[in-house]
Structure 1
Amino acid sequence: MPEHAKKKFDRKEMRLWTVASKSIMSRLEIVMFFSNLQKELCECKSFLDQQYTNLVGDNKTMSLLRDEHFDVGISEVIAPCGFGIFELINIPNMIGASAVGVVDSMNEFVEVPVMPSFMPSLPEATPLDEKFRLMMDRPDREGVVLISFGTYAPTVQMPNIIRSAILEAVSTFQNYTFIWKIDEDDKVPEMANLFTHRWIPQASLLRHPNLRCFISHAGLNSVLELTRNGKPAILIPLFADQHRNAKLVERRGLAIVLYAETFTKAKFIESVHSLLQDDKYRQRAERLSSLMNRKPFKLKERLLSAVEFSAMHGKIEELDVYSYHMGAIQYFCLDVIFAALSLVAISFYAVAYCTSRFLKHILNGKNKID
């Protein structure tokens, strides 16, 4: 990536805290940011030429890959360049993987069209080092609250109302330890029960039995880790898939979702109090964790089975979605629309005809009387 493009992609340039909102218009700025960045990358001919030379134009590497005679290729669906490479090196079977839910832009690749008529593995936790273990196991505290807003939302740009609400919560719940992941250049007032770090072993902390609450931005990894480890959460989604992720967890009853544009200290303090004092959130979180961790077919087993199945059978026409083969009339529901419009037209005609006959009958009756 060109240096000037890297600079524009800097997380501090994205200003995620200032554009976080449920409103479509308020998200326009971040959408335009990514749109302009993509446009700039596409216009960098030298950059694209270099990538082409390094990947496709490297005949030696491509020849070595062809000679391996791979049975299956696996690539990320959201950026499907890998499948073009698979085609060039003659891999007959391909598997698409996605770190997020399947979005509309992926539907064409997986041959699941967007129908106009309806809407259709995580790293293992490692043992904590001595420093974090002592924080988590303090006998004079009732538990631990973990605060982390991911990589792309700098804490130095956090709105003052959210920052002050967090500090007030730390001050209010002094019988709990708070661990907060902040930026290197951020400064937070020192408090007896608050520990700030530039990096945290998030998966391991969420796995610890003394962790009582997780305050996060609802990034996909964070949501999967908190549900897998059975921890209740307060989620403040900022952009992209985070709003959807937050709502999915809230629907299961193990999280409270707050939005930046309606955020207040009172709501935040009340939410922290609810998660720490009301056992229903913990119980629901533990139940969902049990369902995820004890499901009959493990993720690794499913992946291996899928790869073996694909290598053995190739493209499976029996699993094709029928709607992919629909004609224009069926796909756009033109037959249904025509039938509906015909029914409406017939109804209007019938009403108009009956009204006309009725009025004519009345007028003829008056003429006879005259």
Structure 2
Amino acid sequence: MFVAVDEFIDFPRPIFHNIIYIGGIGMKTAAKNESLKSPFDFEMTKGKKGVVYFSLGSNTDTTFLPKSVKKNLIDTFAAFYDYHFIVKLEATDDFGISYAKTKSNIFITNWTPQSLLLQHPRLKLFFTHGGYNSLLEVANSGVPVLLMPMMYDQTRNGQVVERNGWGKVVNKIELLNGNENLIKLMNEMLNNQK
């Protein structure tokens, strides 16, 4: 039986002998034959220490995030001025876009070639909602990941990432009232050579 799961992005568990994991099949070949195009090729050259990519996927509409959460996220990104941030926000997210444009180290877009960004050598951190497809892509890239689970399987995915040691999880509720823990986690993720 074929299962669309990557066994390395799962908790250890007993399985039947006829289970064959095929999660992520074809992902590497898709990115291998393409290269970044404008403006992303240029954006990846910015940032003295590298680039951080932020995306909450295609199911989370950033327009509906509380303003305090968006402000705390953007203020956190601006605090890491040695890094350039590629931030995916919805085109309808007027507050997020206008506030982010006041920060010099943030590039706003409503679409990205995610698999190509994750393969880029200057990418230092992927900050994501933790959807399974994003996890498959980041697992194949070797980039550290910071998850902010929003819904569905994302909390479980965050537990897998933490257990396996290739990322951390930030609680979205904490961002309603401040960004201290997020700054601490990002500092750890960006400065830990582990």
Q: TM-score category by the smaller chain?
A: 0.7 to 0.9
| 2-structure distance, mates of 1:225, 1:98 | 14
1:48-59 to 2 correspondence within 5 Å? none
Higher relative contact order (CA 8 A, sep 6+): 2
Q: Work out whether residues 233 and 256 of structure 1, in 8 Å CA contact, stay in contact via their aligned partners in 2.
A: yes
Code of the aligned partner of 2:36: L
State which of 93, 99, 117 in structure 2 corresponds to 1:186: 93
Deviations 1:191-223 (A, max 9, x none): 211111111000000000100111101000111
Corresponding residue for residue 209 of structure 1: 121
1:134-145 to 2 correspondence within 5 Å? 134-138=42-46, 141-145=48-52
- Provide TM-score, normalisation by structure 2: 0.79
Q: Does 1:265 align with 2:179?
A: yes
| 1-structure distance, mates of 2:119, 2:158 | 20
Number of positions where the alignment pairs a residue of Structure 1 with one of Structure 2: 168
Q: Does 1:163 align with 2:70?
A: yes
Corresponding residue for residue 190 of structure 2: 276
Code of the aligned partner of 1:278: N
Code of the aligned partner of 1:168: D
Q: 1:260 Cα shift?
A: 2.1
Code of the aligned partner of 1:128: L
| 2-structure distance, mates of 1:137, 1:236 | 26
Q: After TM superposition, which residue ranges in structure 1, 4 or more long, deviate above 6 angstroms? A: none
| 2-structure distance, mates of 1:234, 1:256 | 5
CA distance 1:100–1:277, change in 2 (3 Å) = closer
| 2-structure distance, mates of 1:136, 1:227 | 20
**Could you list the runs of 5+ residues in structure 1 that have no partner in the other structure?**
1-94, 102-111, 113-120, 281-370
Corresponding residue for residue 128 of structure 1: 36
Q: 1:246 Cα shift?
A: 1.0
Report SS of the residue matched to 1:153.
Answer: coil
- Structure with greater Cα Rg: 1
Corresponding residue for residue 232 of structure 1: 144
Code of the aligned partner of 2:190: L
CA distance 1:204–1:265, change in 2 (3 Å) = same
- Judging by fraction of residues, say which structure has more strand: 2
Deviations 1:214-234 (A, max 9, x none): 110100011111111001111
| 2-structure distance, mates of 1:134, 1:243 | 34
Q: CA RMSD in A?
A: 2.2
| 2-structure distance, mates of 1:142, 1:197 | 21
Code of the aligned partner of 2:52: V
